[in-house]
Amino acid sequence: MKAIVIGGGIGGLTAALALLDQGIEVEVYEQAHELKEIGAGLQIAANASRVLTRLGLGPELERLGVAVHAIVMRDLHSDRPVHSLPVERSDATPEAMTARFDGTFYQLHRPDLLGMLADAVPAGVTRLGEKATGFVDDGAGVTVTFESGHRTRGDLLIGADGIHSRVRGQLLGETEPEFSRIVAWRALIPREKLAHLDLEQDCHVWLGPNRSGVAYWVHGGELLNFVGMVPADETAAESWTTQGDLAQMRRSFAGSNARLQAILDEIESPFITGYYYRYPLAEWSRGRVALLGDAAHPMHPFLAQGACQAIEDAAVLAHTLASHLADGDVPAALAEYQTRRIPRAARVQNASRTQEPVWHMSDPREIVQRNRTLASLSELDPDAKTLYGWVFSYDVEAEAAKPLRDPSAVLRREEARRAWTMWATLLRPKDLDRQHHGIREAYDRFLLHNFPPDPTVSVEDSPVDGRTHLRVTAPDGAGGPTLLHFHGGGYLLGSAAGSVGLASRLARETGGSVVVPDYRLAPEHPYPAAVEDAVASYDALLGRGVDPATILISGESAGGGLAVALAMRLRDLGRPMPAGIVAMCPMGDLAVTGESVDTAAGVDPISTRTFLTQMATSYLQGSNPRAPLASPVYGDYQGLPPLLIQVGENEALYSDATRMADAARRDGVEVELDAYPDTVHVFHMFDFLPESTAALERTAKFAGRVTALRP
């Protein structure tokens, strides 16, 4: 098998090494007349350094790279710490490296990395000064032509020729990349000029309004790499090599803290980088041609994963081609490469892009919310395994060796797989761009489109304290029970309007009415805002003359946890208690310690450890994650009314549900726990699932028993 690689950058040369390591012949073509990189830095996290080490570059990485201890984020103006992400071992505690990400996080001078790759590729493999003009895939092989008149033929072609890839243009059609509207001032400063500064062997990040500064050591610690990201309208240049105006750069960072100013003072000749990106592609390969690196997935710099993802591509490409050496089915190998890589690279692309508004917040209130959220994150995730482990701990070769399968096949039944896919595809890339604002809109769109209200029920708004309270009443349901139902969404998402579909089915089954209140959401309104609003909603029902003996409080997901927390709060306030509680797939532990969070990884497509932690910390913002009104698994259940808990056996919050049931039994509360196999989180919403109908029928029977009001 012979591979032709267009592009002699980091991705192309890593691909050459990986392919050669598998016994595959390689030719690399680079249009430049010499292999060189712009004099700047990059970061090679553990997910990529493991690949390079396996390819024999470990000693060179140790010699020329700088092993990072932590990524330390500070306020750009005050220099006060905002967040610290431990990514590597320190000299004092080498065991910490294995405990975190099983690999070294290196900071490198780009020319150093390119040089070590070029030196490792055998002589004669790379041809310089050859600009590809086109290719022909005739089904039996690929022929590539060059401006020089040279032609070559191989079994496959890999386009590793960057964001403006000619291979990509011919393969998928010419489209312009997106301009991020961010440019970066870049410079390298010799160590001797900064001897007076206390700059540890960390990655230093300064977060400021609409801008940020990053500094870290490269080239064996002899050079400090500085990157200052600012809005593009502050400078006209957008190229990789344009020399910038020194005075203009300093104006961009006027008012910065003393350490950052001292770094800026030592810069003599900055240059400017414009950042371009693409949204994730639906395909990377056709026939015998595939893309790799920036040709496939150019991304924002905020996770420092651009080069890392190209290195991962190279490892998976080599693995999949090697697995097809016996049958020689190159198109099948490239299709497998694409299938394995697109979900991973797309997730990294999306996460990298959506970090920009977090770094560059300008609203003082949002900055306070962000910093409080990061403080909670430091408590819940001190080793950064949750927030960044999915990036840095990813073992690309182990993942490449796993059998390919439809991800939804973790569930047995066709209708359950349909629900799984609906959850998995809820968010589109552009929904993520506006952080929680965009995710909220996407979540409501998902609910309103897929789960409209039953047309036979009536819906009216009965506001409380200016908040929407939708009363959904079944036909002839005036004499039935009243359910005060709280929507889910991790205290970050959801609305009364979005929950009307489920509420209407609840009303039909119970023969009564369901009141769905809006409650204040995080991060704008942190804990205990939701509990306070829940109490006000309950009090409003009592104020309208509703007999508490006819009321049940219920909720799904975070709303299920909120329903139990409300009952605890009502008891402590001495309020009349409701007749019962219904918790559907409850989120009851904001410390995210449930065993099922990890055992359901890959099975539950929506309640991932990362997402649960992000939602919890956005709500907590420094509050105790084990406070009972935030996390009722830790609460006292004495004096609570009968409790019905319903949960899917293979969802991430299964442990939350079972622990809440155990705590209730411990405290003498009547509790029923219904566990449903082979289903998804909040299966109650999916009206085509038989377990949804069964669960709502059980809820109706429970409501009729505890209120003595029959449907």
Catalytic residues: 216
* C-beta separation of 351 from 592 below 8 A: no
Q: What CA–CA distance (Å, rounded) separates 73 from 90?
A: 18
* 484, β-bridge pairs: 515, 553
Residues 6 or more apart whose Cβ sits within 8 Å of residue 133 = 145, 146, 147, 166
How far apart CA 225 and CA 219 sit, in angstroms, is 9
E strand residue ranges, 452-575: 458-461, 469-473, 482-486, 513-517, 551-556
Report which secondary-structure segment, H or E, holds 358: helix 356-359
Residue 244 has a CB neighbour count (10 Å cut-off) of 23
Q: Tell me the C-alpha distance between 304 and 328, whole Å.
A: 36
- Residue 463's identity, in one-letter code, is P
In eight-state DSSP terms, residue 550 is: G
Residues 558, 589 contacting (CB under 8 angstroms): no
Residues 362, 364, 370, 375, CA torsion sign: positive
The residue to which tokens 């039935």 are assigned: 480
Q: In degrees rounded to 5, what are phi and psi of residue 384?
A: 65, 20
The rounded distance, in Å, linking the Cα atoms of 191 and 544 is 72
Residue 270 one-letter amino acid: P
Closest CA to 46 of 353, 401, 399, 389: 389
> What is the enclosing helix (H) or strand (E) of 670?
none
**What CA–CA distance (Å, rounded) separates 704 from 95?**
58
| 159 alpha carbon, distance to own chain's centre | 27
User: Side by side, which strands form the sheet with 285-286?
Assistant: 126-128, 25-30, 2-6, 156-159, 289-291, 285-286
Using CA atoms, how far apart are residues 671 and 664, in angstroms rounded to an integer? Answer: 7
Distance of alpha carbon 100 from alpha carbon 666, whole angstroms: 37
Largest distance between two CA atoms of the chain: 89
